[in-house]
Each structure stands twice: as C-alpha cells, then as structure tokens.
Structure 1
Amino acid sequence: MAPLIQEALADTPVVLLNGPRQAGKSTLAATYGDRGFRMLSLDDAATLASAREDPTGLVRSLDRAVIDEVQRAPELLLAIKQSVDNDRRPGRFLLTGSADLRLLPSVADSLAGRMEVLTLLPLAGCELDGAAGQWLECVFSGDIPMLPSGNRAIETGEALVERVLRGGYPEAVARSTVRRREAWLRQYAAALLSRDVRDIASIEKLEQMPRLLRALAQMAGQLTNLNPLAGQLLLDHKTAAKYVGVLEQLFLIRRIQPWGSNRLARIVKSPKLHFLDSGLLSHLRGADAVALKRDRTAFGPLLECYVVSELLKLASWSERDLQVLSYRDKDQREVDVVIENAAGQLIGVEIKAKASVQPRDFAGLHKLAELSGDQFIAGLVLYDGNETLPMGHGLWAVPLATLWRL
C-alpha cells in the first residue's frame, strides 16, 4: 500500500486512506511525520474540538499535513476543499478514516477531482507470508496459479482452519494464544459499536447493534434479506437497513453486488453479505478449531469469508480496475466470486472446504462461461489440496494456498 500512497501524493492534492480501525492506517500514515507533514489525530480531544469548532482556521494553519481519523470531523473536508482550490500543489493532505466517507450523509463534499481514495483492509495472507500478492495479476494474464514444487502439502486441513480463524487484524494475529486473540476481538467489536457508530450516525437503539452484528454473522455468505432480521430484532425494515449500512460504512461487512449480463434475465439481484475479516466472523459465530473439527460443515461460511476478503484485498492494490461480484440465478446456479475488469473480462471463483473436487463443483462456472462468452478468462475451484488440475474448457481446480503463496 505504501507505494500506492506515494504515487498518489505525487500528483493529487488530497489522498484518503480509509479502512477499518486497527488495520494499520495510522501506523502507515505516521511514517510521513518525517517527510515534512504535520501530524494531527482527531482521536485527540483538543484537536477534535478545534476541527469541529473552527475547521477553516485549523486547515488554514496547515501546509502539508496528515489528519488521522478524519471521519470524526467531516466539517474539515469542506475547509480542505477550499484550501486546495487556492493551492493545488500535489501531496498537501494525507487523510485516514475508519469509516467510508463516500457513504456518510454528513460529508458535505466528495472532493471530486481533488482527492484519491485508497482502501487498507486487514493484513492479507500474502503479506503475512511475505509473498508478492500477484494472484489476480497471474489469472488475468492467463497463467493459472500453482504451488511451487517445494510448497506442496502446506496449510491444508487443520493449518487452513487456523489461518481462517486467525483473520488479518494485525493485533489479533500478533496475539500468542487463541484466548488472547478472542479477548482482543471481543473488545474491538464492543469499542466500535459503542463509540464509532455514534461518530458517524444517529442510532436510536444503539443497544441493538451487538445483536444485529451477531445475527448478521449467521447470515454471512448468504443473500442479504433484511425482513426476517428486522423482525428478529423488533426493528422495521428501514431501520434495519440503516443499521446494516452503518456497519458497512465501518468496514465490518461488505455487500457483494451481483454480476449481470444482457443475456441473463433470471439473475438474482440481491447482494451477498460478507464480513471483511474471517477472524472477527469466527469470533461472532463462536467458532473454534475443536468445534470445526467436530462439525466441518460450519467451516464453509468462514472459509468463503476468508477467500472473499483475500480477493478484495488483492483487488484493492491491483493496477487493474477490478470489481468483486457474485453470481446466482433463479435456477440456483451460482458462483461464489466473479471478478471483472474494466474491459468486461472476468474470472469465476468457487470455494470448497474439501480436499478433492467433483464435476458438479463446476456447474455454476460452466453457466458463467456460457453467459460471458469470449469475455470469460477462467473458472477456478479453490480447494483444500495442493495440486493445480485442468478440468476442461478453461476450468481448473486450484489449491487455496496459492492465494497467499504468489
């Protein structure tokens, strides 16, 4: 992510680095304190009061600055716009935000044409393993991922379960025991729901947010249907939708939109609900290695969350303009992930929590290939094995471990 920030600062007045709390934004932004940037954090009470009471005066005093947690004082954005319009030098402001400013109704101006937005999600598997993160580049270039001969038979079975349960938040990953990781995740979720929600939205029934988050955890990987959820929490549909939107703005969840085609009239248009960190999802579902060993079917939604999150991370720093989508039609044929580039070319990814694949595992990919025609690059079934195997007609069985080893 650091090279992307530096590239953006070289030709853009304002760069926003957003993403969930504790993903490493502040640590990364702090490195600019030695490069002539003044460092301001809106987690500091006095700085926050100044930003809210006199945003124009505060910004007027700045030449080049890092402003951390800018979502706490969205009033600053209009003042920054005015400052930038008077002085269009590139690299004037590096902002960080733990809420998606583009989705906040309190933001008065998007700074269109003046600001580049980058998203930093929790650590990807390739970052933890020191790999280059070239999985998507490889597939879109027509090279099917495979493990080097020296990397066979790694991180399958129980080791794969542990990777998924660990997730990617740096603080959680660094914890030495499962108990300590669980303690961090519990307090992380509680802090977000008690403080950050108040920062970005007016929530009348704040006490319902923990229940809502846990209920959504049970829906992970499924189509978003808020009607039964609203009834379960004694909320009307509009209020439930607002609360879900707040959790999405905080980068806890992501609704993955459906892929569409002019040749497809029977597409299911509801988005799929995913959590952006499999460790947090596992915590909310009460999953652990012992329980998953006893009931392997419970691992499927967690693994799907992990892979979708990994693909979102890889797409976020790709030089290609990529959309992460899903596919499902009314005949119940589906593909877990469809990744489409700006030219409309696409790959399909199915996720299987098993050590072998069957022809039926490729049914949705066959349909996707038929609908997309020449735009279809490849269809991959990611599975808990270590061999890349051709399955005919641009379809492949590919080890899950290639995601973090390339």
Structure 2
Amino acid sequence: GSALINRGGLDGQDPLARRAQRFTMSPLTQREMHGVDTSLVDDLWDGEPDVSFDEPIARQKLYDLMAAGGFPEYSSQYAEYADWERERLVADDIHAVLGDTILPDEKLDAAIAENILTRLLCMPGGILNASALGEQLALDRRTVDRYVGIFMRRFLVGALPNLRTAPNRQTFARAKIHPVDTSLSVQTMLSKGRDPMVNPVDYGNLLESFVVNQILPSVQWSRIHPDCFYWREPGSGPKEVDLVMVSRDRIVGVEVKSSSRVTREDFKGLAALANDRRFYRGYLVYTGGRVMKWPGNLWALPVAALWNPDAFIAAAE
C-alpha cells in the first residue's frame, strides 16, 4: 500500500483510474478485537439502542484500553510490557515512521517534526491553530500546516474538519486533530510527565479520540459510508459536537463525556445540532453502564456499547 498510490505517471493523471479501490488500514477497533463482524456505524445509524443494556466499565480498565490502543503489537502484549518498554516502543515506532525511508520526496527536519507531533499528541482532539502552535515553537504557520499534512500521510494523526466551515475552506485550519491510535498519545503524555489517569482533562480528551477511533475505521465496511466532521458554533456560549456523520441529507451526532452520569446539560451540543433540518439522531457516549433514551431522538450510550453488539437491536435488512 501507499499513501500516494494514485500519483505519478501519465503526466500526473491517475494511472489506476477505475482499477483500484482505496482502503485505510487503521489500528484494530475494539469490535474487531472482540470478533464482531458488523459495523458500528450501521448500528449507530439504523440500529435501535437497547434500553435493557447495562455494562459499566471501570475507569482504570477504560484507561488500559486507551493506553493499549489498537496496534496489535501494543494491544496484545500490553500487560506484559513494563512502563518504560511501552514508552520506548511507541517512541521508536514514531521515529521510524518519521524517517526518510517513507515517502522520500517529502523532506522533513526530524527535530521540527517531533516537536510539532508531540504537541499534537499531547492534546488529542484539539482544534488546530497553526498560528498559535507556530508561535509556541518559533515556526511559521505554513510550516506547521505542511508537517500536519505529512503526519496525516504517514498515518500518525487524522483530521476532522468543522461541518460549519464552507466546503471550499475545508483544510487543516481549525480541524480537530486526533491521533490515529490513543496509545501514541498516552505514551507521549507519560514521557512528558503528564499522567492522564490523574488529569481529568487529558483523560477526557483521550476518551474523545478513543471513541472517534472506534467509529471512523468502521465507516469503510458500513452500508452507510457517511462523511465525518465535528461541529462547532462559535459565540459567547459556543456549542460543539465531537463527531458528526453526514450521509444523504441525514446527520448523526456523537458527543463524548468522561463522566459516569449524564444530565440534560450534557446534551446541549447535540440539542443545538438538532436545529439542523437534516438531524436524524444523536448519542452521548459516557462511561456509565445504561442505555438511556432522551427526548428528541437522543441517546445516552455507554462506551462499552461501542464494541458489544448486544447494546443494539439490529435494524431489519
């Protein structure tokens, strides 16, 4: 496989037009690890959440899942590695991916690349402000943008554009940047002396990226194949939804909270998104155990429901 499979040859035209399909091999999702062969996207879109489902998950267990991530080498042997071994393994793999042997036409400075990437991995799900990040690192905004593009082509991070942004402006600017796997962020944070288990903000940010990483890969084998964004409405009281899926004039929103309890206030972002005429349904993914239905086709969904198909009553074929 290659990130640039459609480039080169025939004076820049695609030599494989209509001859190739493109798939991204993401780290394994929890559904794949549990041997579930249905798409989470299809369940979120057309399944009926089962209000009898109740499967809480302990904070430490959820952290271990996020730290182990979806790369088979990390996740399958996570408990067998010492703390320093996990950190070293991730750091060595990042250095290898940033080496000149991959996409050699893209020249980069390893020190600059590592500085920018470290900042991005330490704020999973953060909205990219290339100018502010450039000022922190004494770099030009265009340099930051170029390196973010390199990280995406080397499958280290992914970007979710803002649904509110006009189509002709859908670039990295103000996109949400997620690690391709939460293990990269966890080990990078730990290497910088930040423990997500004791920092609720870091824990919540990791959980958002973890949920996104469970959903986005399954788009590829879903029946729906939605486009994915986040949504943020600026203002004195900004409203935001962490993940928005759009397909055929319908919208499904997913908000993530690291709390084990939910209140009406937690649904304010989804409620604002529901003003869009295309709104179909919305989910608040949280760390409690029960599936709960709320007015307006809104649901509170336990994070464990993302990989346990018993949480959904399958839609009729």
TM-score of the alignment, normalized to the shorter chain, above 0.5? yes
User: TM-score, length-normalised on structure 1?
Assistant: 0.67
Q: How do 1:147-296 residues align onto structure 2 when only pairs under 5 Å count?
A: 148=53, 152-153=55-56, 155-175=57-77, 176-179=80-83, 180-196=85-101, 199-203=104-108, 205-260=109-164, 270-286=174-190, 291-296=195-200
Selected match of 1:391 from 287, 294, 316 = 294
Q: Is the 8 A contact 1:349 1:380 kept in 2?
A: yes
Query: For residues 202 and 286 of structure 1, do their structure 2 counterparts lie closer, same or farther at Cα, with a shift above 3 Å needed?
Result: same
Q: Is the 8 A contact 1:351 1:381 kept in 2?
A: yes
Q: Is the 8 A contact 2:282 2:298 kept in 1?
A: yes
Aligned position for 2:241: 335
Aligned-pair distance for 1:303? Answer: 0.8
Aligned position for 2:312: none
Give the Cα–Cα distance (whole angstroms) in 2 for the partners of residues 200 and 141 of structure 1.
Answer: 44
Q: Map Cα deviations across residues 234-291 of structure 1 (whole Å, 9 max, x no partner).
A: 22222221111100111111110111499xxxxxx72211111000111122279x93
Q: Is the 8 A contact 1:133 1:404 kept in 2?
A: no
* SS, match of residue 292 in structure 1: coil
Query: For residues 182 and 145 of structure 1, do their structure 2 counterparts lie closer, same or farther at Cα, with a shift above 3 Å needed?
Result: farther
Query: For residues 177 and 309 of structure 1, do their structure 2 counterparts lie closer, same or farther at Cα, with a shift above 3 Å needed?
Result: same
Identity, % of aligned positions: 25
Give the Cα–Cα distance (whole angstroms) in 1 for the partners of residues 266 and 60 of structure 2.
Answer: 22
Q: Is the 8 A contact 1:127 1:133 kept in 2?
A: no
Task: Determine if the alignment matches structure 1 residue 367 to structure 2 residue 269.
Answer: no
Aligned-pair distance for 1:293? Answer: 3.4
Query: For residues 355 and 123 of structure 1, do their structure 2 counterparts lie closer, same or farther at Cα, with a shift above 3 Å needed?
Result: same
Extract unaligned runs of 5+ from structure 2. 167-172, 310-317
After TM superposition, the runs of 4+ consecutive aligned structure 1 residues lying more than 6 A away are: none
Q: Is the 8 A contact 2:50 2:291 kept in 1?
A: yes
Give the Cα–Cα distance (whole angstroms) in 2 for the partners of residues 285 and 232 of structure 1.
Answer: 18
Q: Is the 8 A contact 2:160 2:176 kept in 1?
A: yes
Amino acid of the structure 2 residue aligned with 1:188: D
Query: For residues 394 and 401 of structure 1, do their structure 2 counterparts lie closer, same or farther at Cα, with a shift above 3 Å needed?
Result: same
Query: For residues 109 and 285 of structure 1, do their structure 2 counterparts lie closer, same or farther at Cα, with a shift above 3 Å needed?
Result: farther
Q: Is the 8 A contact 2:51 2:292 kept in 1?
A: no
Q: Is the 8 A contact 1:217 1:281 kept in 2?
A: yes
Q: Is the 8 A contact 2:189 2:196 kept in 1?
A: no
Aligned-pair distance for 1:209? Answer: 1.1
Which has the larger share of helix? 1
Query: Number of matched residues?
Result: 297
Give the Cα–Cα distance (whole angstroms) in 2 for the partners of residues 145 and 196 of structure 1.
Answer: 49
Aligned-pair distance for 1:351? Answer: 0.3
Aligned-pair distance for 1:232? Answer: 2.5
Aligned-pair distance for 1:164? Answer: 0.8
Which structure has the larger Rg? Answer: 1
Give the Cα–Cα distance (whole angstroms) in 2 for the partners of residues 253 and 363 of structure 1.
Answer: 28
Aligned position for 1:297: 201
Give the Cα–Cα distance (whole angstroms) in 2 for the partners of residues 128 and 209 of structure 1.
Answer: 32
What is the CA RMSD across the aligned residues, in angstroms?
Answer: 2.7
Give the Cα–Cα distance (whole angstroms) in 2 for the partners of residues 199 and 329 of structure 1.
Answer: 40
Amino acid of the structure 1 residue aligned with 2:215: L
Q: Map Cα deviations across residues 148-199 of structure 1 (whole Å, 9 max, x no partner).
A: 56xx23x332111110111111111122224333222111011111234562
Aligned-pair distance for 1:383? Answer: 0.4
* SS, match of residue 339 in structure 1: strand
Query: For residues 235 and 292 of structure 1, do their structure 2 counterparts lie closer, same or farther at Cα, with a shift above 3 Å needed?
Result: closer
Amino acid of the structure 2 residue aligned with 1:340: V
Query: For residues 400 and 255 of structure 1, do their structure 2 counterparts lie closer, same or farther at Cα, with a shift above 3 Å needed?
Result: same
Amino acid of the structure 2 residue aligned with 1:337: L
Give the Cα–Cα distance (whole angstroms) in 2 for the partners of residues 287 and 391 of structure 1.
Answer: 41
Selected match of 2:262 from 336, 341, 357 = 357
Query: For residues 340 and 127 of structure 1, do their structure 2 counterparts lie closer, same or farther at Cα, with a shift above 3 Å needed?
Result: same
Query: For residues 234 and 102 of structure 1, do their structure 2 counterparts lie closer, same or farther at Cα, with a shift above 3 Å needed?
Result: farther
Q: Is the 8 A contact 2:292 2:300 kept in 1?
A: yes
Q: Is the 8 A contact 2:127 2:175 kept in 1?
A: yes
Amino acid of the structure 1 residue aligned with 2:61: A
